Amino acid sequence: MPRDAVVLMDLQIDYFETFGRRPLAAGIVKRLIEVANSILAGGALPDALPVLVASHFSPNDRIGNYFRKRAAISGTRGAQIDPRLEVPQNVRTFVKSRSSAFSSPDFERYLRENDITRLILIGVTAEGSVRATAREGVRRGFDVLVPLDAVATDSHLKMSFARLAMLQADVRIVRKLSSLLPPSTPSEKETP
């Protein structure tokens, strides 16, 4: 039986607050906070290892920051984890400076040390961090699942791009996080 990790990606102030650099719609933010808090409290996917990943981009990355609307720049308030998340002290947080969580040197080592074979990705942005981590996870031999109702971005076009790119990389897409309860419930790969 696979050992799961739920990777909670970029649940940061710049994406979740209306004054943030790249705010998502309030309804989406509310849903993601509820999902994340349920996972962190052990209510949803209780057998999975929760892991937080946060972007801290260099202020000197002018081109990347332009496209990210200067969101999640290292040292800014917007790069902090949203305070509405109830993160237990034992949940490990990894900081990354590029889109993929695997850009954090200790991320993969932590997964391997905990015998993780399957990643469930939740968070933002679908076309950025979620897509990059999903594709790289598959390349590194992980089974990767992405529940579409637990990832977000700021446009339907970006979500469609992310979905297609992930499907082409053999990432398994499920429509609803609830389809993963209990974690051993098999999901079928969605077709484009």
Q: Could you report the per-residue pLDDT of 91-102, keeping only the tens digit for each?
A: 999 999 899 999
pLDDT band of 2, cuts 50, 70, 90: low
> Per-residue pLDDT tens for 121-142?
999 998 989 999 999 999 999 9
pLDDT band of 185, cuts 50, 70, 90: very low
pLDDT band of 72, cuts 50, 70, 90: confident
Determine the average pLDDT of the residues in 4-8. 97
Angle at 144 between CA 69 and CA 81, to 5 degrees: 40
Task: State the alpha helices, DSSP H only, in the chain.
Answer: 13-16, 26-40, 62-67, 107-113, 131-139, 156-168
> Per-residue pLDDT tens for 143-159?
999 999 999 988 899 99
The letter for the amino acid at 175 is: R
> For position 119, what pLDDT does the model report?
98
- CA separation for the pair 137, 158 (Å, rounded): 20
pLDDT band of 117, cuts 50, 70, 90: very high
For the question of whether the overall pTM of this predicted structure is more than 0.85, the answer is yes
Among 11, 131, 19, which residue's Cα sits nearest to residue 79?
Answer: 11
Among 27, 49, 54, 30, which residue's Cα sits nearest to residue 39?
Answer: 49
Q: Look at residue 25 and tell me whether its pLDDT is greater than 50.
A: yes
CATH of region 4-180:
3.40.50.850
> How big is the chain by its Cα radius of gyration, in Å?
15
